[in-house]
Chain A
Amino acid sequence: MRHPIWLVPVALTLLVGCATRNDLYVLLPGKDGKTGALVVDSNGKQQTLNTPYAAARVKNVGSVDGVTSSEAEVKQDFGPALEAQPKRPVSFYLYFLRDTDEFAPESKALVNQIFAEIARRPAPEIVIIGHTDRVGNAQYNDALSLRRAERCRDELIKLGIPKVRITVAGRGFREPEVPTADQVPEPRNRRVEISVR
């Protein structure tokens, strides 16, 4: 007599009480030296991973077992996914004269480095992000930061980078390199970040 095939896993579970899942969640040390955190929640059962190689196994939905993985185990379990990781974005910074979208002169030398980075990457994208200091209100600085980014984009297009590869953003004064009080001029915050990714 033939048994329906779906009975097999059911029977196995009943007989051995064995796992139905083969899930593994691993927190890695950050490349920048900081390790973040990952909250694993399986049907209300939670485990927070916050040290390098802290891991959680879920063998059945609703149960989370804390374990520790290692660099070697991770390579074995996740090798191809890790090898497929895109290159990390690299950022370059150009600085501006106060209240203007004119480059500070030393910034021009960076352009060659940016080109070299672009050439190293598959399907490269260039994200140009403008930043300002805290002189002026938020709205003014949002507009100024975007104008700086656009100015920079126009220069890069002139130098031969296809327009479709470039996107621009203006962050205003949300992301200062050097935090300051309101209305303080700070040349290091008047910059454009060129992220190549």
Chain B
Amino acid sequence: MRSALIALTLPIVFAFGVAVAAADDAGQIKTSKGSAQIERSGQKLPATVGQVVQQGDVVVTGADGSVGITFRDSSLVSIGPDSVLAIDRFVFDSTTHQGNFDASLKQGTLAVVSGKLAKQSPDAMKVKTPAAILGVRGTEFLVRTGPAKD
């Protein structure tokens, strides 16, 4: 009975472990203030300095929060208070500098210094908001998105 259970759960644990190891880290948190979290597969993790950010993560700040992330291609991305930033896709080949960086700012403010992906090819980095899509031709820009205040 017990061995049957182990036999059943082991492949699941193993598969999960492989999935985690295969999911490349996209970046690392370098600054964090106030209330700030990472939402990853239904879990909420504190967005503390040193914490890894992965493709699929959503970074969320509260009214007093801000977070700054350095990505593997050396893109610098930071968000201000009451912001929601989804890392939709991050793929970076460190030999050729090819890949893709797609992020969505659902609300709030964002500051970007684009990195090696945008430098290598002009279509590699895209930032979306509920109202617009940004094509990034380098290098430094700011985004604010949200509903109109009446």
Using CB atoms and an 8 Å cutoff, list the residues of chain A in contact with chain B: 9, 12, 18-32, 34-42, 49-50, 58-59, 61, 64, 74, 77-89, 121-123, 125, 127, 129, 142, 167, 169-172, 174, 195, 197
Given contacts A22-B147, A81-B142, contact A169 B137 (CB under 8 A): no
Within the assembled complex, what's the spacing in Å between the Cα atoms of A41 and B148?
Answer: 19
* Pairwise interchain contact B137-A23, C-beta atoms closer than 8 A: no
Chain A contacts for B142, CB-based, 8 A: 24-26, 28, 74, 77-78, 81-82
Chain A contacts for B133, CB-based, 8 A: 41-42
Q: Pick the contact of A86 from B30, B130, B140 — CB < 8 Å? A: B30
Segment at the interface with A among B13-21, B37-45, B74-82: B74-82
- Closest chain-B Cβ to A29's Cβ sits at a distance in Å of 7
Using CB atoms and an 8 Å cutoff, list the residues of chain B in contact with chain A: 28-31, 33, 49-50, 66-70, 72, 74, 76, 78-81, 83, 94-97, 109-111, 113-114, 129-150
- Closest chain-B Cβ to A35's Cβ sits at a distance in Å of 8
Q: Pick the contact of B30 from A29, A38, A82, A122 — CB < 8 Å? A: A122
B108 to chain A: closest residue by CB: A81
* Pairwise interchain contact A172-B138, C-beta atoms closer than 8 A: no
* Pairwise interchain contact B109-A81, C-beta atoms closer than 8 A: yes
* Pairwise interchain contact A39-B68, C-beta atoms closer than 8 A: no
- Closest chain-A Cβ to B99's Cβ sits at a distance in Å of 13
Total number of residue pairs linking A and B with CB closer than 8 Å: 172
A58 to chain B: closest residue by CB: B131
* Pairwise interchain contact B70-A84, C-beta atoms closer than 8 A: no
What are 16 of the A-B contact pairs (CB < 8 Å)?
Answer: A22-B146, A23-B132, A27-B140, A28-B140, A31-B140, A36-B114, A39-B134, A64-B132, A78-B142, A84-B80, A85-B68, A122-B31, A122-B50, A125-B28, A167-B94, A195-B74
* Pairwise interchain contact B95-A170, C-beta atoms closer than 8 A: yes
Known: A81-B109, A197-B74. 16 other contacts (CB 8 A): A23-B143, A23-B144, A25-B142, A26-B141, A27-B141, A36-B138, A41-B132, A74-B142, A81-B83, A84-B31, A85-B31, A85-B68, A86-B70, A129-B94, A167-B72, A174-B96
